Amino acid sequence: MLSEKEKYHQSIALEFKNKIDRLGFFLPFENGTIYHKFRSGVEEGLPINDIKDILKELFTKEVGKNGMWDIFVTSLLEEDPNEYMRANIQNSNGNTDESQNRLKNRRNILTHYFTNNDLNIDKIIYLYNKIRTLTPRNVQNYPEGNYREYLLIEHLRKILPSTVEVGTGFIIDENYHTTNQIDIIVYDANIAPLFRSGDLVVVVPKSVFGIIEVKTTHYPNKLNEELKKANQNFELIKKSIGNENRTEIFNGIFYFKSSLTVKNIEDSCKTVQVLREFEEESFVANHIAFGDSVFVRKNYSSFSFYDMKEGNLAFAYFFSNLIDIIMRKKNLTNEALSKFIFPIDGDGGKEGRKII
């Protein structure tokens, strides 16, 4: 049974879930949508037939349900739109058989197009782009991933001190070396940013408390690249500040969703293997939330995995470690704060939930 404090920290995961559910009514928050499957398939070089199947699923789900099949076929076959509209008007006046025959022929042609042995990736992408032009504007034009970051930025601004700022952007050192764009930068408000426009910032390494990469869903085959990106950004910060401040800097990856389980971890699944390969890296990510159920922290030279499913406490530990690092860097740690920001009391705290 959860303690009252654990229930309080569980509310963080519940709050995110509620917001995701509400946002999902308007926008495709889930990065496991068919659109994402298609893009991943192309990037990873899936067999052409697999990508073709994803596209067929995409068309059925995103276009067919909105009554846009005929519009798509018309566009594909480059028929005269005016003639097509006239046929629809004629159909509304009672000439049903002719319109149904036209529709049947178009479907047969499109089916042949999908099953043609000459179908190649260029045709696949052409079809994909055609479908994209028919989807609702709020889906196709909304900046990919931005709303995930906004949810996290909003939460961080609520829980962090007013002397700490949160934004998205870049870090540049004294030699004009610049990071890749970072999803979330947590930095000292007392050190002026070099540039700020809304949430977009450019800051110097010395002002940085932490950086976070935000992902909707954890895919094991993408973890290697995600770690490399986080490491490259972290390396610039650490090399720039040198030994000025030995306090840890937070380098996190936050996955809203993950299918990682205790059994997967105990069986040394691909995710565990990839992380083990990065253990000797000097600038590796040091805090990872795999959904709300698994929290990973790099302790000295190795990664430790914690089962946080009871109480959904992985998010809470991710944020509490960030707060702890900020407070220690500002020399503001105290026993009362430490007691409240970490969810689990007794039985060794989170160490009682350690998997490996």
Question: What letter does residue 336 receive in the DSSP assignment?
Answer: H
Residue 166 CB contacts under 8 Å (≥ 6 apart), including other chains: 153, 156, 157, 160, 184, 185, 186, 187
**Residue 79, burial from CB neighbour count under 10 angstroms (0-12, 13-18, 19+):** middle
pLDDT (0 to 100) of residue 254: 97
Q: What is the 3-state secondary structure (H, E, C) of 3-50?
A: CHHHHHHHHHHHHHHHHHHHHHCCCCCCCCCHHHHHHHHHHCCCCHHH
User: DSSP states of 70-86 as a string?
Assistant: HHHHHHHTT--HHHHHH
Which residues of the chain have a pLDDT value below 50? 30-32, 62-94, 96, 103, 106-107, 109-119, 134-144
| Alpha-carbon span 30 to 37, nearest angstrom | 11
Cross-strand bridge partners of residue 305: 296
| One domain for residues 221 and 250 | yes
pLDDT (0 to 100) of residue 315: 95
pLDDT (0 to 100) of residue 198: 87
pLDDT digits (tens, 9 = 90+) for 20-41: 777 766 555 544 455 555 555 5
| One domain for residues 185 and 164 | yes
Domain-located, residue 193: yes
Number of domains comprising the chain: 2
Q: Which helix (H) or strand (E) holds 148?
A: helix 146-159
pLDDT (0 to 100) of residue 35: 54
C-alpha distances (whole Å) from 82 to each of 52, 86, 109 are 30, 6, 20
Global pTM reads 0.69
pLDDT digits (tens, 9 = 90+) for 187-238: 999 999 999 988 999 999 999 999 999 998 898 889 999 999 999 999 999 9
| One domain for residues 91 and 190 | no
Domain, as residue range, for 64: 34-140
| One domain for residues 48 and 94 | yes
Best CA proximity match to 292, nearest among 24, 23, 9: 9
